[in-house]
Structure formats: C-alpha cells, structure tokens
C-alpha cells in the first residue's frame, strides 16, 4: 500500500541521517530555494571569464617582452657595457652625407642561463671563426648576467648562430657608424669607437658639445636628430685630394696636404692630409704617418712667412713698396750668414723682396721694425698661441724661449718658428680680406656671422698692397707656374729646409704654396704642401716649391674654381692698374 496520500503534495524526504557539516556546506554552496541549473550556468561562465583573463594576461606579457626585448637586454648590460647609441648624420655644405648610422646586430651571452657552457663555446667558435675561444670561455664563465661576445656581427653570422638555438645566447641591434665617402674627409670627420662614441675629428667634437650628455640622459636614442652641416664641399674635397695624390706619387713625396679656405668667412671648404685613412677601418687611424699634418703638425713655413714680415712693415708706415734694401751681398749676423737662393748683388725694393723671395731683404725689413714689434705683430696675427677650432686635434706653435735679434732675422723668412699650417692660413686670410682676423671653422658660417667675430689686425690699404704683391708674384715672380688664365690668382712660395739631427738638411725640404683667387677681390685661399719631394728630369734636378708645389696648386685651381662658382675673366689689366689703382695709396 502506497505511503503517499492521493491529492496531497509529497513531503521532502527527511535527511536526518546526513551529517550537519555536509548540510552546512551544501547550504553555503547552493543556498535555499535557488534554481540550481541557472547557478551552474553562471559558474561555468565565471570560469570561462577567468581562463580568458589569464590567457590575455599571458599574451600581453609576451607582446611586451617581444617589443621591449632590446630595451631589457640593454638594461641588463648597462651596468657593465655601453650600448652603441644613435648619432646625428654629418653632411657637407650641400647636404651630401659624410657620416651616418646603420643598425647592426651584436652577439651577447647570459652566463647564468647557459646550460652547457662547453657545448655553447664549441658551437659558437666553430660558427664564427674570428671568435677567440679563450676570451669567450672567460666571459661565459663569469657570474654576470650579461656579457658581450662580439660586437657588430654580420647578418649571415646572426642567422647561423640563431639556428644553433643555444639558450642564453642572443642578439642586440646596435647603431653602427658608417662613412660612405671613405678616405675623402677622414681627418676632418674623424671616427668613433665600438660604442659609437666620437674619438677624433668632428665626431669627437659632437660628443664634447652635448651629444654625450644627451645619450646619458636618454634623449638621443633615435635617429630623429638634426644633421650637422659642415663647411666642407665634398666636390672640392675630392678634386683637392685627387690632385694631391697625383703630386705625391709624381714627386715621390713623403706626404702631401692642402687646405682651401674662404677668406671672408674663415670656413674650411676642403682639407686633405696624405697619407690618410678609412674611418670605416679604424686600425689605419693609429698609424703615426697618417696624422692630420694641417692641425696636429707644426712646421717652419719658409718663405710664405715673408708675407707677414712685409705686411708688418707696410702697416707701420715706416716703409713703402718702393723702399730700398741692400742685397749686394750676404747678411752676416754673428757667426751666422744669411744668403739668398739667387744672389742679386744690388739694392732691391720692397716689391722685389717679395717677388725674388729675398731672405736678406726680409731680414733687413724685420730688423728695421725691432724685436718687440715683430713679436707683437705675429702675436696679433695668431701665430704664437695654439689655434683652437672644432677639431680637438691641435698643436701649439714652437716659439723661441728667448727671442732676440737673431730669432727675428730668421723668423722673418720662415725659419725658427713652427706653426700649424691652418694657423698660417688664418693669418694669410687676414692679410687678403681687408685686414680682419677671423677664426677658422669647419661649420657653415655666413659673412655676417664672420664679421661679428672678426678682429682688425692691419689697415685696409695694407691689405690692398699685400694682394698686389701676391698678384705681382704670379705675373713675374716665383708663382708664375700656377697662373691659371682667367682666374687672376696671386701666390707666395715657400721652401723650408728640414731640421735633421739639429742641422738644416738642404736636400730634405718641406715645400708650400699659398694662393688666392681672384687677387682683386679674394674669395678663397689655397695652401698646398709637399713633404720631401724628389727631383725629376723635368724639374732640372731642383726640389724647390716653384717646381712642384706651385704647378700642383695651378692644377687644383683649374679644377676647383668652376666648382666654387668663380667665373673666368680674361684680358684683365696688370696688378698695378687693377689693384693698386683702386687702393687709397700706391705707396
């Protein structure tokens, strides 16, 4: 018989036998009078949401690691090694790239993560032949978290190492400095070290003028930096270097160098010192024969210094172009004898002192001014102190400790005082541009900016006379072989015997040639130097400047004048009519 009475609802089964602990748990989980199916669906949805959140979090972290891998690697190495940072491009005055950055992979290791170091070392050294096994072993055996194994590896090497799949071995993309023009502007640009830090030339100037501070502050980590515009013209630089290479080979010279300068702004338009080096191959830069002879070398400049001697005397007003000087015989001073290369045996005027390059005449002119006046004038012309430019490489002049009359006699014609060639160029510019001494620069500079920093050192009329003398020397004097038709150049030669074992060696000379163009309104100065040129049959056995440096200067002028925008002018009157006639005085 049924225990349920028909027509009445069934009573729930008594669970008096269920322990009270289970009843409590069941009540907490399910509650009372709740739709268990709805609550089950809610729990499933909550579980799905939890799992989705976990996967999203993991995915996000993976993306962050992928994007920030280089940053984290850099931070790991920051305590020990410098990561090569970005540098601004360096361009010439026309925007041609002289130095730029490219990305290159570097190989690093994390010693704490490497499982089998012997196997890792064996695989790495077998794949990259120029890895030193002992050095790699030493680095991977350290307790450091990050070590460099090789900087700037090739993409092929990166691919081969990547295929090895060695845990704890990775790659970091760094900035590598490259120089598209190679040797062309090597001494001017300089170079960087493995960490992309400037160590010479304009590259070092960049770091010394704020770039290094930006890197340390973290504000120079991208390529969005404004290019550095230099004053150099790559086209002119190439022409100058090409002609100097030819001259060095032709005359079997030990070295050759040259500068082209804007006389009105002080800008260096081209600078070459041979032998030079390829900044893409830094090892060449350590060769002592490859120094920049124009800024780090100091030399006795020979007869080019006679320009300073005559300018000093003319500016004082004590002499004029027609003053007479005794050149009938050698000048004896104590136990020393001053002589001319070509003895004239007569009195000569100031113009002839310049065009015949008379040592005797120059010495008498300087003695007439006095020792103190001579020293003061050369100091005013910037020849007695170290010249500072953007280039960190510079040398101080060699000045006599005790400057007496004998020093004045020899310095008057370019012996006994050694200066950097760029220093002499600065002084000659002042003699040619109207009398304003303007510091040279390797950065672009306007005439207005130059005028603001110029210092007057001689009278404008003295400058007129010096330009006249330079042109006269190209017409009838020692610079005739450089007189390129149409460009109205002026020039002064210099042949300086080198001091070997304390004595002047007649057959080992440093030749120089200083030219201006055009002489009536100079825009550019050209300096050419040949170190120890050898005699040739075509030079009749002579090694003086007029037979090698001067014709080299003429070839350079013929190539660069059109590049510099100087139009040829023919059938111009001689210097006394074109230059002196326009001057305030002809005396």
Bridge partners (DSSP) listed for residue 169: 109
Q: How far apart (Å, rounded) are the C-alpha atoms in residues 467 and 131? A: 62
Is residue 303 annotated as part of the catalytic site, yes or no? Answer: yes
Phi, psi (deg, nearest 5) at residue 304: -60, -25
DSSP notation for 131-161: S-HHHHHHHHTSS-S-EEEESS--HHHHHHH
As a three-state string, the secondary structure of 103-131 is: EEEEEEECHHHCCCHHHHHHHHHHHCCCC
Tell me the torsion sign for CA atoms 423, 425, 428, 432.
negative
List the beta bridge partners of residue 333.
336
Terminal alpha carbon distance of the chain: 155
Dist CA 513 CA 482 (whole Å): 9
Determine which one of 257, 273, 303, 575 is catalytic: 303
Q: Where are the alpha helices (DSSP H) in 385-459?
A: 405-411, 421-432, 447-453
Q: Is 477:356 a contact under the CB 8 Å cutoff?
A: yes
Determine how β-strand 436-437 pairs with β-strand 418-419.
Answer: unpaired
CB 330 within 8 A of CB 360: yes
Q: Of 181, 177, 179, 203, give the one whose Cα is nearest residue 190.
A: 203
What 470-475 contacts at long range (C-beta under 8 Å, 24+ apart), as own/partner pairs, is: 470/307, 470/432, 470/516, 470/519, 471/519, 471/520, 471/575, 471/578, 471/579, 472/351, 472/354, 472/355, 472/575, 472/576, 473/354, 473/355, 474/515, 474/519, 475/574, 475/575
Contacts of 305 (CB under 8 A, 6+ apart): 411, 412, 413, 414, 417, 424, 494
Closest to 528 in 3D by CA, of 542, 544, 516, 511:
511
CB atoms within 10 A of CB 568: 13
- Among residues 484, 458, 503, the alpha carbon closest in space to that of 551 is found at 484
Q: Alpha-carbon distance 176 to 154, whole Å? A: 12
Query: Distance (Å, rounded) from C-alpha 361 to C-alpha 310?
Result: 10
* Distance in angstroms (rounded) separating the CA atoms of residues 179 and 393: 20
- For residue 157, CA distances in Å to 162, 166, 195, 408 come to 8, 14, 20, 65
Nearest to 262 by CA among 120, 433, 381: 433
- Give the active site residues: 303
């Amino acid at each position: 018989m049924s225990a349920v009475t028909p027509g009445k609802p069934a009573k729930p089964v008594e669970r008096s036998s269920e322990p009270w602990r289970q009843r409590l748990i069941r009540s907490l989980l399910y509650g009372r009078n709740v739709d268990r199916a709805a609550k089950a669906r809610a729990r499933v949805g909550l579980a799905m949401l939890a799992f989705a959140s976990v996967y999203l979090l993991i995915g996000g972290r993976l993306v962050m690691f992928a994007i920030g891998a280089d940053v984290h690697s850099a931070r790991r190495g920051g305590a020990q090694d410098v990561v090569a940072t970005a540098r601004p491009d360096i361009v010439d005055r026309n925007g041609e790239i002289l130095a730029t950055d490219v990305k290159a992979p570097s190989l690093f290791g994390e010693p704490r993560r490497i499982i089998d170091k012997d196997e890792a070392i064996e695989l790495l050294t077998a794949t990259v032949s120029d890895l030193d096994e002992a050095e790699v072993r030493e680095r991977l055996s350290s307790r450091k978290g990050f070590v460099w194994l090789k900087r700037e590896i090739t993409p092929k090497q990166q691919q081969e190492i990547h295929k090895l799949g060695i845990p704890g071995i990775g790659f970091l993309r760094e900035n590598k400095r490259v120089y598209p023009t190679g040797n062309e502007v090597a001494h001017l640009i300089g170079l960087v070290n493995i960490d992309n830090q400037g160590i010479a030339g304009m590259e070092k100037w960049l770091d010394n003028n704020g770039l290094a501070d930006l890197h340390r502050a973290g504000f120079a980590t991208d390529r969005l930096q404004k290019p550095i515009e230099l004053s150099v013209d790559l086209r002119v630089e190439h022409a100058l270097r090409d002609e100097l290479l030819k001259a060095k080979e032709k005359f079997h010279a030990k070295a050759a160098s040259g500068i082209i300068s804007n006389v009105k702004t002080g800008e260096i338009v081209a600078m070459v010192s041979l032998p030079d080096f390829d900044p893409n191959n830094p090892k060449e830069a350590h060769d002592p024969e490859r120094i920049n002879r124009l800024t780090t070398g100091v030399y006795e400049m020979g007869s080019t210094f006679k320009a300073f001697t005559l300018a000093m005397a003319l500016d004082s007003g004590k002499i004029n172009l027609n003053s007479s000087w005794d050149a009938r015989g050698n000048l004896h001073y104590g136990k020393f004898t001053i002589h001319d290369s070509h003895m004239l045996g007569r009195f000569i005027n100031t113009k002839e002192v310049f065009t015949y390059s008379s040592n005797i005449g120059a010495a008498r002119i300087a003695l007439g001014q006095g020792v103190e006046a001579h020293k003061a004038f050369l100091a005013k012309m910037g020849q007695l102190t170290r010249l500072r430019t953007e280039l960190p490489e510079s040398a101080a002049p060699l000045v006599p400790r005790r400057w007496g009359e004998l020093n004045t006699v020899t310095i008057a014609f370019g012996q006994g005082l050694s200066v950097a060639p760029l220093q002499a160029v600065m002084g000659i510019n002042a003699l040619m541009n109207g009398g304003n001494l303007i510091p040279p620069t390797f950065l672009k500079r306007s005439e207005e900016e130059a005028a603001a920093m110029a210092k007057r050192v001689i009278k404008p009329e003295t400058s007129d006379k010096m330009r006249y003398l330079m042109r006269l020397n190209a017409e009838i004097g020692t610079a005739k072989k450089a007189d390129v038709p149409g460009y109205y150049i002026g020039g002064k030669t210099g042949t300086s015997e080198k001091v070997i074992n304390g004595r002047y060696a007649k057959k080992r000379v440093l030749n120089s040639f200083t030219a201006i163009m055009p002489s009536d309104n100079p825009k550019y100065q050209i300096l050419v130097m040949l170190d120890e040129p050898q005699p040739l049959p075509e030079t009749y056995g002579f090694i003086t400047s007029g037979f090698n440096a001067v014709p080299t200067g003429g070839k350079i002028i013929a190539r660069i004048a059109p590049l510099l925008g100087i139009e040829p002018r023919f059938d111009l009157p001689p210097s006394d009519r074109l230059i002196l006639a326009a001057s305030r005085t002809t005396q």
